[in-house]
């Protein structure tokens, strides 16, 4: 189990993930673009295992989830210091709204490939982006089993660590392998995004894969 998890972005996705992570017994530090004081109501709602900090402090965690709008990602990465092997979990999508038509043009790359190129020394893992925030906010597991959560990344140990986090919080982690292949599958208009593959909204498995 990882130490305190950093989540950059306290919107629909960041808050849903924070709630699951604290429910699994781990601490979370959160930030937004406007400073920790603006997150007091969010911290109060999520409970004592959650703290709001400045972006630089949140991004210094050993495992940092990026859950911010795509246009903010690369500018922020350019401001942050080198990652020195820390894990950057990319939950972003190259679209203004989940599953809406229209997307940011990335020259044929996935967001995670752009993130990897912009985050010196980070071990990037793509996940938490195939379900809409409304589904992410639901309990990851129910009486039928665990909801599937895909992940991909080029570093095997980082994929294992993020897979363990995914399993800890109640999903069934499904490892898709490399960033280029797995991240393309997870794009909002890719074959594994809920909606293009409707059963993923409800599919559950009873074991960790």
Ligand X SMILES: NC(=O)c1ccc[n+]([C@@H]2O[C@H](COP(=O)([O-])OP(=O)(O)OC[C@H]3O[C@@H](n4cnc5c(N)ncnc54)[C@H](OP(=O)(O)O)[C@@H]3O)[C@@H](O)[C@H]2O)c1
Pick between residue 97 and residue 178 the one whose CB is nearest to ligand X. 97
Separation of alpha carbons 30 and 7, rounded Å: 5
- The CB-of-12 to ligand X minimum distance in angstroms stands at 4
Nearer to ligand X, 52 or 161 (CB): 52
Structure tokens at 182: 């797995």
What binding mask, one character per residue, do residues 76-105 give for ligand X by CB under 6 A, x or -? Answer: x--------------xxx-x--x-------
Q: Least CB distance from residue 40 to ligand X, whole Å?
A: 13
Q: Which of residues 110-129 bind ligand X (CB under 6 A)?
A: 129
**Residue 172 CB: number of other CB atoms within 10 A?**
22
Structure tokens at 90: 């990319």
Cβ-contact 149, 127 below 8 angstroms: yes
Q: Which of 5, 116, 119, 132 binds ligand X (CB under 6 A)?
A: 132
Q: Which two tokens stand for residue 130?
A: 């195939």
Closest to ligand X by CB, 15 or 157:
15
CB-count burial class (<10 Å; 0-12, 13-18, 19+) for 143: exposed
Nearer to ligand X, 37 or 207 (CB): 37
Nearest CB to ligand X, comparing residues 69 and 170: 69
Q: How far is the CB of 207 from ligand X (least distance, A)?
A: 25
Continuous segment of H or E residues that includes residue 141 = strand 141-142
CB 68 within 8 A of CB 76: yes
Q: Is 10 in the site for ligand X (CB under 6 A)?
A: yes
CA distances from 150 to 1, 48, 121, 172 (A): 19, 29, 23, 8
> Alpha carbon of 127 to those of 174, 182, 183, 184: distances in Å?
10, 9, 8, 11
Q: Report the residue number, 55 or 151, with the smaller CB distance to ligand X.
A: 55
Of the candidates 7, 29, 32, 110, which one interacts with ligand X according to CB under 6 A?
32
Can you tell me which of 9, 36, 153, 182 binds ligand X, judged by CB under 6 A?
9
- Range 33-72, binding ligand X (CB under 6 A): 33-34, 55, 67-70, 72
Q: Are strands 87-90 and 63-66 parallel, antiparallel or unpaired?
A: parallel
Residues that bind ligand X (CB under 6 A): 8-14, 31-34, 55, 67-70, 72, 76, 91-93, 95, 98, 129, 132-133
């Amino acid at each position: 189990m990882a130490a305190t998890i950093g989540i950059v972005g306290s919107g629909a996705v960041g808050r849903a993930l924070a709630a699951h992570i604290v429910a699994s017994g781990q601490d979370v530090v959160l930030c937004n673009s406007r400073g920790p004081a603006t997150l007091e109501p969010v911290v109060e709602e999520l409970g004592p295992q959650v703290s709001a900090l400045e972006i630089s402090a949140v991004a210094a965690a050993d495992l940092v989830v990026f859950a911010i709008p795509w246009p903010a990602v690369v500018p922020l990465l350019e401001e942050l210091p080198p990652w020195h092997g820390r894990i950057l979990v990319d939950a972003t999508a190259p679209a203004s709204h989940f599953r809406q038509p229209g997307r940011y043009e990335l020259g044929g790359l996935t967001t995670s490939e752009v993130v990897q190129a912009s985050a010196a020394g980070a071990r990037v893992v793509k996940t938490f982006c195939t379900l809409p925030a409304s589904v992410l906010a639901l309990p990851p597991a129910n009486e039928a089993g665990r909801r599937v959560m895909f992940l991909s990344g080029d570093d095997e140990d980082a994929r294992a660590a993020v897979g363990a986090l995914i399993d800890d919080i109640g999903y069934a982690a499904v490892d898709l392998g490399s960033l280029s292949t797995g991240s393309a599958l997870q794009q909002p208009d890719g074959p594994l995004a809920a909606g293009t593959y409707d059963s993923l909204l409800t599919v559950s498995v009873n074991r960790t894969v």
